[in-house]
Amino acid sequence: MLSIRMRAELEGRHVSGAERLIPAEELDKAVKELIRRPKAYDKLVITVEKVKGIHVIPKALTIYSYDFKSVEEAHSFAVELLKKEGVPEELSRKAIELLKRGANPEGGNMRGAVLMDIQTGERLEPDQERGIRTVRVDWKDRKAIRRLLRERGIKKHYIDRLIDALALATKNVYCGVIAELCWSDDPDYITGYVAGPNIGYRRIKPMKEEGAPLGGRVYFVKSEAVVELIECLEGKAFLIENL
Ligand code: COA
Ligand code: AMP
First to last CA, the chain: 22
Ligand 1 centre to CA of 69 (Å) is 33
Ligand 1 centre to CA of 98 (Å) is 21
Pick from 157, 190, 171: nearest CA to 61: 171
Q: How many domains does the chain have?
A: 2
| pLDDT score, position 142 | 95
Residues 62 and 181 in one domain: yes
- Which of 15, 116, 133 is the best mutation target for the ligand 2 pocket, counting ligand atoms within 8 Å of the beta carbon and taking the most? 133
Within 6 A (CB) of ligand 2 lie 109-110, 112-113, 131, 133-135, 168, 184-186, 215-217
Residues 81 and 166 in one domain: yes
Pick from 169, 231, 240, 163: nearest CA to 201: 169
Residues 188 and 228 in one domain: yes
Residues 33 and 145 in one domain: no
Ligand 1 pocket, 59 CB below 6 A?
no
Give the model confidence (pLDDT) of 120-168 as tens digits. 999 999 999 999 999 999 999 999 999 999 999 998 888 989 999 999 9
What letter represents residue 183's amino acid?
A: W
Give the model confidence (pLDDT) of 23-57 as tens digits. 999 999 999 999 999 999 999 999 999 998 999 99
Residues 117 and 219 in one domain: yes
Residues 97 and 43 in one domain: no
Q: What Å distances lie between residue 9 and 6, 21, 42, 44, 123, CA to CA? A: 10, 22, 6, 6, 28
In the predicted model, what is the mean pLDDT of residues 173-177? 98
Residues 37 and 111 in one domain: no
Residues 156 and 92 in one domain: yes
| pLDDT score, position 100 | 97
Q: Is there a contact between 185 and 213 (Cβ–Cβ < 8 Å)?
A: yes
| Domain range enclosing 45 | 2-52
Phi, psi of 57 (to 5 degrees): -110, 115
Give the model confidence (pLDDT) of 85-96 as tens digits. 999 999 999 999
Residues 182 and 146 in one domain: yes
Residues 35 and 148 in one domain: no
Residues 34 and 99 in one domain: no
Strands 192-196 and 200-205: antiparallel
Give the model confidence (pLDDT) of 198-232 as tens digits. 999 999 999 999 999 999 999 999 999 999 999 99
